[in-house]
């Protein structure tokens, strides 16, 4: 490079390549002579953001331990640690509005600050830390990188990360759901499952007890299985026409299993970007890690097809150990399931038929509604009506029986005072007649309540509908809402998964946004608002 010397005489500066590769004084202090040259030559600086960040932080905080981390640890959501931004003016964050269910009120939504760069002071137990969070483009996708700093031994920092990692991977009123090739944690499904109650499952008592015994007796029999030198695994198929209690029974099983510490794992579909075989590997690998657990395969005949059947059988009954796995499948069409899967005892060795209710079952179900409505003084429900309804509903499924009562009650509720309102019995018989016509004109086992020409229900008086007016003032709940910080680059748009086949959930364009550790964004925003935390994500 040409330059001017002090005496204004021209000269040429020659630089040798080893001048760039010679270890610097800082790097020479260590024992590895390759560390410095590799950082200079191999990191490319702009590409190796992790290497640059770690080296720069060690330079800025020479007395601190610096630990980079990414997958499986969501420190910002760890409830046992207190966090505060070090310098809010220097933080870079995108404000994202996360809508919540409208039933929660007029302010059904929260603002989340999606952190692209920021530093937080962290307190956990009796220790202080510094957390750096940064997002950057890596290839076609954005990556979130964290650095945890502690002025002291590395073990103290690793202890915090270990505790946060355990918490991140635990279930917190959630159920694991596998869909589109990924495991995610679903708080909404957990909430729905909690509504199930065996008292609402109107089946013969002996049938219910046998089902419960087969499910939970399995988990209590580990030592028995081992003493007999047989694998501690089991498969159950619940089959029969639609609308006869398979789903609500499954929900009740999932609720009880969760309460007893046996995680329910719900498989929606084996469709995946890596193919159905790859999805099955992910499903059973995760199930083996979670064992003892319940694997739920709803609509088994649609999940298993000729293309994936052999691989599924290999996962279910192959060389790998499935100890502690209880696999429960449901189907409306048992005859469509391959005999190799259906009839071999080591695969699905127990089958429970959920058939259309007998007359005795129908009497039990009508009595169930009679008991529910006994406090309603406007409804006359004598014992004689119980047997009349049971006799008039031959071949009705439980779903059709439920529709009889639901439609009757909703239609009666739509009448105004002074209208020529039919009696409960009259409207009940009218709904039974309508459903019989639908039943007679539909293929057996293929109809569901709500299809066809079933009379609908509506609110007759528009004045009963809630009226909303324009509000020109600020909602103080929104103004005073504490900050919620997130490190999810996928907020509001499709995102790339962190660990394919593991716990991250990809954006699919739906309104149900999911965070990168698989938790439902809405449920986490709710939790933030409820706890008053500023940093939950």
Whether 480 is in a domain gets the answer no
Two tokens, residue 332: 């409306």
Residue 348's nearest CA partner among 288, 280, 297, 290 is 297
Phi/psi for 119 (5° steps) reads: -125, 140
Compute the C-alpha angle 319/502/483, nearest 5°. 160
Please check whether residues 243 and 297 belong to one and the same domain.
yes
Segment 81-97, tens digit of pLDDT: 999 999 888 888 888 89
242 and 149 in a common domain:
no
Residue 16's pLDDT is what?
59
Residue 532's Cβ-side half-sphere holds a number of Cα atoms within 13 Å equal to 1
Residue 315 lies in a domain: yes
Amino acid 448: pLDDT: 44
Task: Classify 127 in phi/psi space as left (phi over 0), alpha (psi -120 to 50) or beta.
Answer: beta
**Of the residues 337, 353, 369, the one at which a domain ends:** 353
Q: Which of 169, 158, 159, 83 lies closest to 121, judged by CA?
A: 83
- What would the 3-class secondary structure string for 60-92 be? HCCCCEEEEECCCCCHHHCCCCEEEECCHHHCE
Structure tokens at 388: 């009349």
Residue 485 located in a structural domain: no
Question: Given this model, what pLDDT does residue 271 score?
Answer: 92
C-beta separation of 83 from 120 below 8 A = yes
Is 135 in the same domain as 159? yes
Return the half-sphere exposure (C-beta side, CA atoms, 13 A cut-off) of residue 73: 20
Q: Is residue 233 domain-shared with residue 344, that is, in the same domain? A: yes
Please tell me the total count of domains within the chain. Answer: 4
Check whether residue 342 and residue 217 sit in a common domain: yes
Confidence tier at 444 by pLDDT (50, 70, 90): low
Domain that holds residue 24: 1-42
Are 289 and 349 members of one domain?
Answer: yes
Residue closest to 254 by CA, chosen among 228, 286, 293: 293
Residue ending a domain, among 296, 328, 353, is 353
Same domain, 70 and 90: yes
Quick check: bond before 292 cis, omega within 30?
yes
Instruction: Kindly state the DSSP code that residue 139 receives in the 8-state scheme.
Output: T
Domain annotation covers residue 189: no
Cβ atoms of residues 331 and 364 within 8 Å = no
Q: Confidence band (pLDDT; 50, 70, 90) for 454?
A: very low
Check whether 456 has a pLDDT greater than 70. no
Mean pLDDT score of the chain, rounded to an integer? 80
Sheet holding 182-186, edge to edge: 182-186, 175-179, 263-267, 293-297, 325-331, 233-239, 350-353
State how far the Cα of 224 lies from the Cα of 47, in Å rounded to an integer. 56
Q: How many CB atoms lie within 10 A of CB 277?
A: 17
- The pLDDT, as a whole number, for residue 342 is 84
Structure letter (DSSP) for residue 357: P
Q: Do 275 and 301 lie in a common domain?
A: yes
Residue for token pair 């990191």: 43
Taking CA 275 as the corner, what is the angle to CA 271 and CA 277, rounded to the nearest 5 degrees? 100
Distance of CA 350 to the CA centre of its chain: 28
Is 492 inside a domain boundary? no
Q: What is the pLDDT of residue 344?
A: 80
How many C-beta atoms lie closer than 10 Å to residue 350's C-beta? 16
Q: Which of 169, 194, 224 is the last residue of a domain?
A: 169
Do 317 and 221 share a structural domain?
yes
**14-18, 212-216, 345-349: segment of lowest average pLDDT:** 14-18
Asked whether residue 537 is assigned to any structural domain, the reply reads no
Higher pLDDT, 291 or 530: 291
At residue 175, the pLDDT reads: 96
229 and 316 share one domain: yes
Q: 347 with 238, same domain?
A: yes
Least confident of 34-48, 460-474, 518-532: 460-474
427 in any annotated domain: yes
Range name among 68-72, 103-107, 178-182, 313-317 with the lowest pLDDT average: 103-107
Ordered DSSP codes for 485-534:
EE--TTTTS----SSTTSS-----SSSS-B-TTSBBHHHHHHHHHHHT-S
CB 131 within 8 A of CB 119: yes
* CB 290, CB 265: distance < 8 Å: yes
In a domain, 525, yes or no: no
**Distant-in-sequence contacts of 452-458, Cβ < 8 A, 24+ apart:** 454/403, 454/407, 455/407, 455/411, 455/431, 457/407, 457/410, 457/411, 457/414, 458/414
Residues 253 and 390 placed together within one structural domain of the fold: no
Parallel, antiparallel, or unpaired for β 141-150 and 65-69?
antiparallel
pLDDT in tens, 363-387: 999 999 999 999 988 899 999 999 9
Residue ranges in 177-265 assigned as alpha helix (H)? 187-194, 205-219, 222-227, 246-259
CATH of residue 288's domain is 3.40.50.300
| DSSP SS3 for 299 | coil
CA-based nearest residue to 160, from 63, 55, 59, 69:
69
């Amino acid at each position: 490079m040409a330059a001017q010397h002090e005496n204004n005489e021209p000269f040429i500066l020659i630089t040798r390549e080893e001048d760039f590769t010679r270890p610097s004084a800082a790097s020479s202090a260590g024992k590895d002579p390759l560390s410095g040259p590799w950082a200079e030559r191999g990191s490319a600086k702009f590409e190796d953001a992790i290497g640059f960040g770690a080296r720069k932080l060690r330079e800025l905080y020479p007395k601190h331990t610096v630990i980079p981390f990414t997958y499986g640890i969501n420190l910002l959501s760890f409830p046992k640690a207190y966090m505060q931004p070090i310098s809010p003016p220097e933080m870079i964050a995108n404000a994202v509005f996360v809508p919540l269910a409208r039933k929660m009120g007029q302010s059904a939504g929260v603002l989340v600050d999606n952190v692209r760069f920021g530093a937080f002071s962290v307190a956990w137990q009796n220790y202080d830390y510094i957390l750096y969070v940064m997002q950057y483009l890596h290839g076609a996708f954005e990556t979130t990188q964290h650095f945890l700093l502690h002025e002291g031994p590395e073990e103290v920092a690793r202890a915090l990360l270990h505790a946060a990692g355990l918490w991140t991977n635990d279930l917190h009123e959630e159920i694991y759901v596998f869909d589109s090739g990924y495991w995610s944690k679903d708080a909404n499904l957990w909430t729905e499952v909690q509504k199930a109650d065996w008292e609402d499952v109107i089946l013969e008592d002996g049938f219910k007890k046998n089902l419960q015994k087969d499910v939970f007796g399995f988990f209590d029999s580990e030592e028995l299985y081992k003493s007999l030198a047989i694998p501690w695994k089991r498969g159950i198929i619940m089959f029969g026409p639609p609308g006869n209690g398979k789903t609500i029974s499954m929900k009740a099983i999932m609720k009880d299993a969760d309460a007893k510490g046996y995680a329910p794992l719900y498989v929606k579909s084996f469709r995946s970007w890596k193919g159905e075989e790859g999805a099955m590997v992910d499903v059973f690998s995760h199930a083996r890690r979670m064992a003892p657990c319940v694997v739920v395969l709803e609509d088994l005949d649609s999940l298993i097809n000729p293309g994936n059947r052999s691989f599924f059988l290999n996962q279910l009954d192959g060389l790998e150990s499935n100890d502690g796995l209880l696999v429960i499948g449901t189907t409306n069409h048992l005859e469509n399931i391959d005999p190799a899967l259906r009839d071999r005892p080591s695969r699905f060795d127990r089958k429970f038929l959920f058939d259309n209710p007998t007359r005795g079952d129908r009497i039990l179900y009508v009595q169930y509604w009679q008991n529910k409505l006994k406090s309603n003084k406007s409804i006359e429900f004598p014992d004689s009506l119980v047997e009349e309804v049971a006799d008039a509903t031959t071949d009705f499924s439980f779903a059709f029986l439920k529709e009889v009562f639901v439609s009757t009650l909703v239609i009666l509720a739509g009448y105004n005072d002074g209208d020529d309102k039919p009696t409960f019995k009259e409207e009940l018989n009218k709904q039974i007649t309508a459903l019989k016509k639908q039943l007679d004109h539909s293929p057996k086992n293929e109809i569901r309540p709500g299809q066809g020409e079933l009379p609908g229900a509506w609110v007759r008086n528009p004045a009963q509908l809630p009226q909303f007016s324009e509000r020109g003032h600020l909602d103080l709940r929104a103004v005073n809402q504490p900050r919620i910080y997130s490190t999810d680059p996928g907020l509001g748009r499709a995102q790339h998964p962190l660990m394919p086949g593991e716990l991250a959930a990809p954006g699919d364009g739906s309104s149900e946004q999911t965070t990168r550790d698989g938790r439902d964004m809405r449920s986490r925003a709710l939790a933030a608002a409820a706890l008053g935390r500023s940093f939950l994500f």
